[in-house]
Amino acid sequence: MLNDLRKPRVIARLCRALALEAVSSDEARDLIYAAAAEMVAEAERFSMRGDLWELFFAIAVVLDENPLCRVYERRPAQGDLFRILGRDLWSIRCRVKAVKDMIAEDDGFEPLRVLNDFSPRNEAGFTRRKNSYGDVSLLASRFAASASPDDMASALGDFCEKRGAGQFALDTAFTWDSPSKSLVPVDDTDPQTLSSLIGYESQKAELLANTESFLQGNPSNNVLLFGDSGTGKSSSVRALLNEPGFAGRGLRMIELRHDQSGDIPDILRTIRERNYRFILFMDDLSFEEFEVGYKHLKALIEGGLERKPDNTIIYATSNRRKIIREVWKDRAAASDDVHGRDTMQEKRSLADRFGLTIWYPSVSKDEYLSIVRAVAEEMGLDAGGPDMETLAMRWELEHGFTGRAARQFVCHMLQRKAR
């Protein structure tokens, strides 16, 4: 029933270490220590704590993505098939337990006993699995307390109903790797929330309303956020993953570059049948006049033979309202083109296919200073007094009235203070 639970290196090493007829005692010891070293490195990286043997077994089970778990992904698990899966899980976990027993009885493994209740030195690790860590820890505890294969099957069924299966159960943000045609989890996601972004209240409200409708399975639009650089367009989109309840309700985000638009059919084949809601995020989307990649995107949004799945939506940011660069020679060429107007419309049609367009203009002087004060307070810098405002306005002359400029100014002042 399981696809290949022994594929993760940690579990593979532990299972091989217990195949006593196939390995020597020295090789078994080396395999166990190698597995332990890998677990510690991962635990430090992501600030994982508790019984690492049980935790990594639970992670391997979730990542297995067997067909049964996919069927009951974020749906109530029913029927007797999970009992078959439970017997497979029970068999492999018995090997993990045997390793723990060996470590407890053999003083040669005494240094590894700390993994039974591990506390990371790094308390501020990457945020990659912050949304799933509690549920995975609970699954590990239920596996450890299971008295029968049926108990293990029940625990896994409850987990799949809540979070699903595979990489989407554990991670929420991904990039696309074109050579391998695979999704790569983002280790450290931006912790910023929409409420912490100062200003642009109406823009954020529109974005939230559209995303809420999408999560509910109601009609929703692909969104183009355009405006000046540094106004918070990209931060607004990324902050959606940190909205309360959004990740728990199945929101996932895949970021891709504009030159990867030709890979979109491969991405859709990966996510089409999954019981999640995916935002395809294209940051700083723009095409030069000679590029033709935008035609892949046009076909996806509207008009292609392969329909965009209902669980997918596109959010893009751009400094250009029309996305595709236009130059004066285009207009000159259009005057000699029998269908010159059609040629111009072809270049503008991509932006028109986004159902919702949200404009992020530069902020006013008062809004800029408000952002400076808020960011200064957040970073522990006293922003009071007219001198600070004067310096902030001087900074604006070179950097503009934007939230990014305000944050950069505060960082500059902190550096000056440190010197």
DSSP 89-102: HHHHHHHHHHHHHH
Neighbouring C-beta atoms of residue 321, cutoff 10 Å: 12
Of 313, 332, 360, which closes a domain?
A: 360
User: Both 74 and 133 in a single domain?
Assistant: yes
Q: In degrees rounded to 5, what are phi and psi of residue 277?
A: -120, 115
Res. 45: pLDDT tops 60? yes
Neighbouring C-beta atoms of residue 34, cutoff 10 Å: 15
Task: Specify the amino acid at residue 223.
Answer: V
CB under 8 A, 24+ apart: contacts of 203-210: 203/236, 203/358, 203/359, 203/360, 204/236, 206/356, 206/358, 207/236, 207/237, 207/240, 207/358, 208/240, 208/243, 210/356
User: Both 119 and 151 in a single domain?
Assistant: yes
Res. 22: pLDDT tops 70? no
User: Looking at residue 401, what is its pLDDT?
Assistant: 80
User: Both 349 and 375 in a single domain?
Assistant: no
Res. 6: pLDDT tops 50? no
Looking at per-residue confidence, does 330 or 158 come out higher? 158
User: Both 163 and 209 in a single domain?
Assistant: no
User: Both 371 and 298 in a single domain?
Assistant: no
Tokens of 90: 């029970």
User: Both 29 and 143 in a single domain?
Assistant: yes
Question: Per the domain annotation, does 336 fall within a domain?
Answer: yes
User: Both 378 and 391 in a single domain?
Assistant: yes
Of 329, 360, 391, which closes a domain?
A: 360
User: Both 399 and 356 in a single domain?
Assistant: no
The CATH number of residue 240's host domain is: 3.40.50.300
Looking at per-residue confidence, does 290 or 198 come out higher? 198
Task: Count up the domains in the chain and report the number.
Answer: 3
Percentage with pLDDT > 70 across the chain: 81
Looking at per-residue confidence, does 22 or 221 come out higher? 221
User: Both 319 and 248 in a single domain?
Assistant: yes
User: Both 86 and 230 in a single domain?
Assistant: no
User: Looking at residue 168, what is its pLDDT?
Assistant: 96
Report the pLDDT averaged over residues 270-280: 95
Question: Per the domain annotation, does 25 fall within a domain?
Answer: yes
Instruction: Find tokens 């990649």 and name the residue.
Output: 293
User: Both 81 and 204 in a single domain?
Assistant: no
User: Looking at residue 138, what is its pLDDT?
Assistant: 95
**Residue 244's pLDDT band (cuts 50, 70, 90):** very high
Contact of 17 with 23, CB cutoff 8 Å: yes
Res. 326: pLDDT tops 70? no
Question: Per the domain annotation, does 86 fall within a domain?
Answer: yes
User: Looking at residue 347, what is its pLDDT?
Assistant: 54
Question: Per the domain annotation, does 183 fall within a domain?
Answer: no
Q: What range does the domain containing 403 cover?
A: 365-418
Res. 392: pLDDT tops 90? no
For residue 83, give Cα distances in angstroms to 27, 58, 135, 229, 338: 34, 17, 21, 55, 70
Question: Per the domain annotation, does 19 fall within a domain?
Answer: yes
Whole-angstrom distance, CA of residue 271 vs CA of residue 347: 29
pLDDT in tens, 134-150: 999 999 999 999 999 99
Question: Per the domain annotation, does 1 fall within a domain?
Answer: no
Question: Per the domain annotation, does 321 fall within a domain?
Answer: yes
Of 112, 137, 170, which closes a domain?
A: 170
User: Both 356 and 370 in a single domain?
Assistant: no
Question: Per the domain annotation, does 181 fall within a domain?
Answer: no
**Residue 328's pLDDT band (cuts 50, 70, 90):** very low
Whole-angstrom distance, CA of residue 132 vs CA of residue 146: 21
Radius of gyration from C-alpha coordinates of the chain:
26
pLDDT, the chain, mean: 83
User: Looking at residue 349, what is its pLDDT?
Assistant: 61
